[in-house]
A and B are shown apart, each in its own frame.
Chain A
């Protein structure tokens, strides 16, 4: 008897709606997200402004929509970039074995031990805060994570008999990596990428909150949150809306990744 996959449906719904809103922002937002109207500041929700306006009279919905787009681009690019490098390192380490594997994995352990946020702050201090540096920082955090996951999964594949059969056939280790290892670890990597996407969204919000991410006028949930901080008594909704957006998107992608992993793991599936 299979239980209804609550987490999967909820995760897909939340992640899907955030993605849709982000995509929609490319072609339509209620207002220009940066249009200032000081006469109409702190407006209450109305038909004209669904979630009201902020301290400069900017439409909150439009800002949230564009911020969703920015966050998702940062998360996507950094996971693809960091994941790509990490996967190459991981499967190469696994294919080569010996001291090459040890070296790659110890260096990756070392970078895992380094606090991610501290690294991002260091990067911002050296190169200045920007969206680009946020991407680099989050991508860098992802490299050892993906290296470790893909190396572990690849090592498992290397123990299978069809890898020996491939060697007996006369295939080299790199060809075997492309032919057999990559297709067999793809599922594990997609799951990890979904989870890391959620983590990257949170990291982007954290960096923007600290003022190290997207710079004005580009809106971001983290900075909207920090801008609203000083107005918490006057207009608490300005902090609640971006906060909710962060919760919804991180929860959505996190649940989605977790439940795909549960589905792809036969042991967990049987327990359902």
Chain B
């Protein structure tokens, strides 16, 4: 397998509001010295409490924010060093699934329109057929394209959001808390869907969650973050079997979970619905 995404020594801070006139407050360090590597078809789970820098990491990988230091290499290309046009082309290769299935779809447009948005941006023809294909891949009806987000349940909307993410046939999906807003039974369905898609389409996935049970179910490898830094990384089964860091141990005790039996491929692991 070859490395698809590589991050080296990423750093990102946010300024804090001034409290005194003459002193500039220390900036908030959201992410510091984070490195990771993700191979094609692999799932890397990123876990950590709120404020540990998981989402900032995702936003930097997606190019929404620039790292202050460090590099993000996608397929060997430095995302922050390429010209805008080249970045636009690369964007078709990595897509994102967001946390809130209610907020990530524009209520004013039909779901077909939303799924076609990345296709329009990439100037791909034959959009209706591609939209129908994507809808069927996520277990929805191709006739659903004409309906509006409010006509769907939370789980269905997250399927639509996934359909939008896979419409361009990307190589990487960044899922930031993609199932956190869903009911537990729906969570299992969406996780199974993601694993099926990963197998069918050969997707690599950066799966971010605060929920260790969810991350354990889907990830090949784990990266544990705390206060903007990586405290532990390794194969999911290994981390669960012998957590090296005290923080990981406390997370494990709190979650009381066991990793899914067996290792890759993902198809061996199914989350009971």
Contact = CB atoms under 8 A, between A and B. Distances in A.
Interface of A: 160-162, 164-171, 175, 179-180, 183-184
Nearest to B101: A161
User: On chain B, which size bracket covers the interface?
Assistant: 20 to 34
Given A170-B91, A170-B118, A171-B117, A165 B104 contact: yes
Contact of B104 (A162, A171, A179, A183): A162
Given A168-B62, A184-B106, A162 B96 contact: no
Closest 6 CB pairs of A and B: A170-B121, A169-B118, A161-B103, A161-B104, A183-B108, A170-B91
Interface string B71-104: 0000000000000000010011001101110011
Of B91, B109, B117, the most chain A CB neighbours within 10 A belong to B117
Contact of B95 (A162, A168, A184): A168
Nearest to B91: A170
A91 to B, nearest CB: 15
A11 B105 CA distance: 35
B16 to A, nearest CB: 20
A162 B118 contact: no
A165 B108 contact: no
B114 A170 contact: no
Given A167-B64, A169-B117, A171-B117, A162 B122 contact: no
B214 interface: no
A39 to B, nearest CB: 63
Contacts of B122: 170
B206 to A, nearest CB: 13
Contacts of B91: 168-170
Contacts of B104: 161-162, 164-165
Contacts of A160: 103, 106
Contacts of B106: 160, 162, 179-180, 183-184
Interface of B: 62, 64, 88, 91-92, 95-96, 98-100, 103-106, 108-109, 114, 117-118, 120-122, 161, 164
A161 B100 contact: yes
Interface of chain A, main secondary structure: helix
B171 to A, nearest CB: 14
A169 B103 contact: no
A171 B63 CA distance: 13
Given A164-B98, A165-B164, A170-B88, 6 more contacts: A164-B64, A165-B104, A165-B161, A166-B117, A168-B96, A175-B121
Nearest to A183: B108
A189 to B, nearest CB: 14
B105 A162 contact: yes
B115 to A, nearest CB: 10
Contacts of B105: 162, 165
Contacts of A165: 96, 98, 104-105, 114, 117, 161, 164
A164 B96 contact: yes
A14 B81 CA distance: 62
A167 B174 CA distance: 14
A173 B88 CA distance: 13
Nearest to A170: B121
Contacts of B120: 169, 171
Contact of B98 (A161, A171, A175): A161
Contacts of B121: 169-171, 175
Contacts of B108: 180, 183-184
A183 B107 CA distance: 10
A208 to B, nearest CB: 41
Contacts of A170: 88, 91-92, 118, 121-122
A165 B103 CA distance: 10
B73 to A, nearest CB: 19
14 contacts: A160-B103, A161-B100, A162-B105, A162-B106, A164-B64, A164-B96, A164-B98, A165-B98, A165-B105, A166-B117, A168-B95, A170-B122, A175-B121, A183-B108
Nearest to A182: B108
A206 B65 CA distance: 51
Nearest to A163: B106
A177 to B, nearest CB: 13
Given A171-B117, A171-B121, A162 B64 contact: no
A184 B109 CA distance: 10
Nearest to B118: A169
A168 B92 CA distance: 9
A111 B104 CA distance: 37
Nearest to B98: A161
Most chain B CB within 10 A, of A161, A164, A170, A183, is at: A170
Nearest to B84: A172
A266 to B, nearest CB: 13
Contacts of B99: 161
Q: Which of A161, A175, A180, A184 is the most central at the interface, judged by chain B CB atoms within 10 Å of its CB?
A: A161
B77 to A, nearest CB: 16
